[in-house]
A and B are shown apart, each in its own frame.
Chain A
């Protein structure tokens, strides 16, 4: 058996997806010192960082500071980045097997969970994830259109994406102009006629997924009043009982939202309504197929045997007039060609990160997963760190046991030759750093963190000829 993990024959690892999980996996691989490892990280976009660049809200720059950690990982001599390379279109799983001992899929969750209610496909009904990608300048979403001439908007869900969407809709142009929001989104939001935003949660305030800091921030917006209904934020006896075991964050969150009840309106231009214990059951459209209102059912909570508080519909309904709807009930993973996928979970079939053949239940040697495509879309950026570490520990154990793929062409320049043939305009990390410098320089001139490139064409032009 050939010895690998040496200077002359390094362990060659491909990481597919340059978001947090991918970078944490690379970091953990480089931390160990027993094997010489080379990591090639791929992303279908020219720019790395996944949802840190394309998901985190533009007015939350601090959260994006994690990219400095990723830059340090990218500074390792064994690290290469191949951006603008698509698994499926430009390279295949077979290509990866021909060039790498191990492959780890960290592609995240590219789409949203759908909500199957009548009218969900009406004009004016969108996935919140698309709105987020649009205002963050993701090249695939720049041509999306959202009718911001509507005065009433509903956001279904109470997680951090829902909170971000509500907050961005309620921000003033002046507040947004100092962020890295995409320029075209800033211009569209400048013309926004939105007056009322409804954020809708199925369960009570104690069960809502948003955190105390996130909801506190909603109460501090320059030009939006927060409105809550007293009866929707009083805790039911069941919720009250569950608060006995609640952590400080949950207690604080409930206090903050309850403090919004009875707050007088201060005459700000917009109103953000936080609704709890309601579920949308139907979107109602006009003759042109445009959404005009939403029917809600009021919920009550019940406790399952396992102790979870779940919502159950009552026979009471409400209807709110809305012309724009964003469903925000979670991201969803998409399958990768040639990789076993669990459709109902929206994840790669895996066991602790080893990719598993669903028929034989055996590990597909050399294939791994980390991050959201492994465990589902949950947690914060840092949650991917222990997740990736778990997968990498198994990769290293498998490497030590020589249970790796044996590529026909492990030489580092072999994959470069392949890419030069198939995708000569791929982006290196140095290319990304050039874009990064240009974006931040443009931002400095305007008092913003950066001005983003928002199309592949712009990025190619700014990068110049691929060296």
Chain B
């Protein structure tokens, strides 16, 4: 299974944030859209980082002034990204090993989507269910003969 089959059924509206915006705005966007991370884009729309709810929580443990803290101070700059043609199974191993939960997807260096570990688990579950159903149908057909 490829990343593209997960992206095909997701909203193409990608919620992003700029480096000069504040952590308070991050929190507001995460809550409003019920998501766990935001890709950070510069003024030309280039992906320069990612900021997650976990990043915000860590900083919130040190300061109350989320409204004064800029995204660029907290974001992860070395972003691991994926391609639409990446295998889901390979990607999930990396996400588990490296303990990150959101993967921005690029095509020709342009951000085209973001998938979460939850999206992947759902896709895997549906794949296994589908394979089990296919096999069960064939086994039962054998029994009918």
Which A residues are within 8 Å of any B CB, using their own CB?
Answer: 62-63, 65-66, 68-69, 207, 242, 245, 304-310, 342, 344-345, 347, 349-353, 356, 358, 361, 374-376, 378-387, 390
Contact = CB atoms under 8 A, between A and B. Distances in A.
A358 B12 CA distance: 9
B132 A382 contact: yes
B10 to A, nearest CB: 7
B72 to A, nearest CB: 21
A351 B103 contact: no
A342 B107 CA distance: 15
A376 B4 contact: yes
Contacts of B42: none
B7 interface: yes
Nearest to B84: A345
A386 B126 contact: yes
B126 A387 contact: yes
A201 B86 CA distance: 16
B131 A207 contact: no
B9 A383 contact: no
A152 to B, nearest CB: 29
A66 B8 contact: no
Interface stretch (B27-35, B50-58, B62-70, B75-83): B75-83
Given A306-B90, A385-B129, A378 B11 contact: no
Given A306-B86, A383-B127, 15 more contacts: A63-B134, A207-B87, A242-B90, A306-B81, A350-B9, A352-B9, A375-B5, A375-B6, A375-B8, A378-B2, A378-B5, A382-B133, A384-B130, A385-B133, A387-B126
B137 A66 contact: yes
Given A351-B9, A384-B130, A306 B103 contact: yes
A379 B1 contact: yes
A194 B138 CA distance: 32
Interface size class of B (residues with CB under 8 A): 35 or more
Contacts of A342: 8, 12
A58 to B, nearest CB: 16
The interface residues of chain A, by DSSP majority, are classed as mixed
B43 interface: no
Interface of B: 1-2, 4-13, 80-83, 85-87, 90-91, 93-95, 97, 103, 107, 125-127, 129-135, 137-138, 140-142, 144
Contacts of B97: 307
B10 A386 contact: no
Contacts of B133: 382, 385
Contact of B87 (A308, A352, A358, A361): A308
Given A307-B94, A383-B126, A386-B126, A62 B9 contact: no
Contacts of B86: 304, 306-308, 310
A62 B130 contact: no
The interface residues of chain B, by DSSP majority, are classed as helix
Contacts of B7: 345
A385 B5 CA distance: 15
A362 to B, nearest CB: 11
B90 A307 contact: yes
Contacts of A353: 9
Closest 10 pairs between A and B when the two form their complex, measured CB to CB? A307-B94, A383-B130, A65-B141, A382-B133, A382-B134, A308-B86, A382-B130, A306-B82, A386-B126, A308-B90
A304 B137 contact: no
Contacts of A347: 8-9
Contacts of A380: 130-131, 134
A178 to B, nearest CB: 15
A231 to B, nearest CB: 24
A374 B9 contact: yes
Contacts of A309: 87, 90
A46 to B, nearest CB: 25
A345 B8 CA distance: 7
A245 B18 CA distance: 37
Contacts of B11: 351, 356, 361
A76 to B, nearest CB: 19
Contacts of B107: 344
Given A62-B138, A382-B132, A361 B12 contact: yes
A120 B8 CA distance: 28
A386 B8 contact: no
18 contacts: A63-B134, A65-B144, A66-B138, A306-B94, A307-B86, A307-B90, A308-B87, A309-B90, A310-B86, A351-B10, A356-B12, A378-B1, A379-B130, A380-B131, A381-B134, A382-B129, A382-B137, A385-B130
B82 to A, nearest CB: 4
Query: Which residue of A63, A69, A307, A358 has the most chain B CB atoms within 10 A of its CB atom?
Result: A307
Contacts of A63: 134, 138
Contacts of B4: 345, 376
Nearest to B104: A306
Contact of A386 (B93, B94, B130): B130
